[in-house]
């Protein structure tokens, strides 16, 4: 039930009767918004509300926003309830770790000193790699912490310092966890052939984020395709007319014939190699070769 429906259902009611409010809260914790001030200060009711909908803590009395039990229940149900917690409890390690373990982005609401706490930040990043952006600047440049963070969530690399995006160990660890992380490596690493070969042999999909020059390098593209069949999607256009490259590609994955230029789809040696690797590749051959008896026989034998 969304907030508008809750308002429509309860706004005209006189929510001053505890039993009535308790029944409503069991249906939707947000109904606490329509209770009177006295009942918003009732711990039993607030606990009922926040266990059902953590962000209902917004409507609790200031005293209960500073109550450990109520706050812990709220942030455990919805980490972003930390937004409504008293300043004192936003500095409580147990409360904040409970919040960020439920929703890593809740780190934005933690006290400054806890945004500089490595245990808190790692708990947040484990739930949501993007939470690293809410960590204190010194931690986003901390080698050990960022290495631990990207091992948990590779895309946390995006929010690390520029210096650490140039560290090979950190980038490789990030890519190992998530190939998309390579998009956030520094330009120099994405243009370093030896390093890119390491990356694509680990995660071929990461070829997408290599430099344009390396996407046109047959050795790099074939290395990526050995790990990830669809790496050819990210190869440079000029490779589709490179005969040596296409021949090597179809020997690796017959269906790579799809990426070949029109002329090379009419090349009998290439098509035969593709069909021997995968009979279904015949569909990408030129019309003349699709009718070739020997090729059709190879395709049939391949099936």
pLDDT at 153 over 80: yes
Q: In the prediction, which pLDDT does 302 show?
A: 55
> pLDDT digits over 182-220, tens only?
999 999 999 999 999 999 999 999 999 999 999 999 999
The distance of Cα 4 from the centroid of its chain, to the nearest Å, equals 31
pTM above 0.85, yes or no: no
Range of lowest pLDDT (26-30, 132-136, 285-289): 26-30
With cut-offs at 50, 70 and 90, classify the pLDDT of residue 132.
very high
3-class secondary structure per residue, the chain = CCHHHHHHHHCCCCECCHHHHHHHHHHCHHHHHHECHHHHCCHHHHHHHHHHCHHHHHHCCCCHHHCHHHHHHHHHHCHHHHHHCCCCHHHCHHHHHHHHHHCHHHHHHCCHHHHCCHHHHHHHHHHCHHHHHHCCHHHHCCHHHHHHHHHHCHHHHHHCCCCHHHCHHHHHHHHHHCHHHHHHCCHHHHCCHHHHHHHHHHCHHHHHHCCHHHHCCHHHHHHHHHHCHHHHHHCCHHHHHCHHHHHHHHHHCHHHHHHCCCCHHHCHHHHHHHHHHCHHHHHHCCHHHHCCHHHHHHHHHHC
Query: Which of 100, 114, 6 lies closest to 53, judged by CA?
Result: 6
Residue pair 271/285 in contact (Cβ under 8 Å)? The answer is yes
Mean per-residue pLDDT, 226-254: 94
Q: What is the mean pLDDT of residues 242-255?
A: 95
Integer CA distances (angstroms), 207 to 12, 165, 233, 239, in order: 60, 17, 9, 14
Best mean pLDDT range from 15-24, 91-100, 291-300: 91-100
Contact between residue 154 and residue 181 where contact means Cβ atoms under 8 Å apart: yes
**Four-point Cα dihedral 144, 149, 154, 155, nearest 10:** -110
């Amino acid at each position: 039930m969304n907030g508008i429906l809750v308002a429509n259902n309860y706004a005209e009611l006189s929510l001053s009767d505890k039993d009535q409010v308790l029944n409503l809260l069991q249906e939707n914790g947000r109904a606490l918004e329509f209770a009177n001030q006295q009942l918003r200060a009732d711990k039993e009711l607030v606990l009922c509300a926040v266990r059902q909908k953590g962000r209902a803590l917004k409507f609790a009395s200031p005293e209960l926003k500073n109550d450990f039990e109520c706050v812990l229940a709220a942030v455990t149900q919805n980490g972003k309830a930390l937004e409504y917690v008293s300043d004192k409890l936003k500095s409580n390690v147990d409360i904040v770790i409970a919040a960020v373990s439920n929703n890593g982005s809740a780190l934005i609401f933690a006290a400054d000193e806890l945004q500089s706490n490595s245990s808190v930040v790692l708990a947040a990043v484990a739930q949501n790699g993007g939470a690293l952006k809410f960590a204190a600047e010194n931690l986003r440049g901390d080698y050990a912490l960022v290495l631990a963070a990207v091992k948990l969530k590779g895309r946390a690399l995006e929010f690390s310092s520029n210096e650490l995006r140039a560290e090979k160990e950190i980038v490789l660890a990030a890519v190992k966890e998530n190939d998309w992380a390579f998009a956030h490596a520094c330009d120099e690493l994405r243009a370093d052939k030896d390093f890119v070969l390491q990356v694509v042999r680990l995660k071929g999909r990461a070829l997408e984020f290599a430099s344009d020059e390396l996407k046109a390098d047959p050795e790099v593209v074939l290395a990526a395709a050995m790990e990830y069949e669809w790496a050819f999607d990210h190869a440079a256009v000029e490779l589709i007319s490179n005969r040596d490259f296409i021949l090597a590609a179809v020997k690796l994955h017959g269906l790579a014939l799809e990426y070949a230029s029109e002329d090379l789809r009419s090349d009998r040696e290439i098509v035969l190699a593709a069909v021997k690797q995968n009979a279904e590749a015949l569909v990408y051959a030129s019309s003349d070769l699709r009718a070739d008896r020997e090729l059709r026989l190879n395709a049939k034998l391949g099936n």
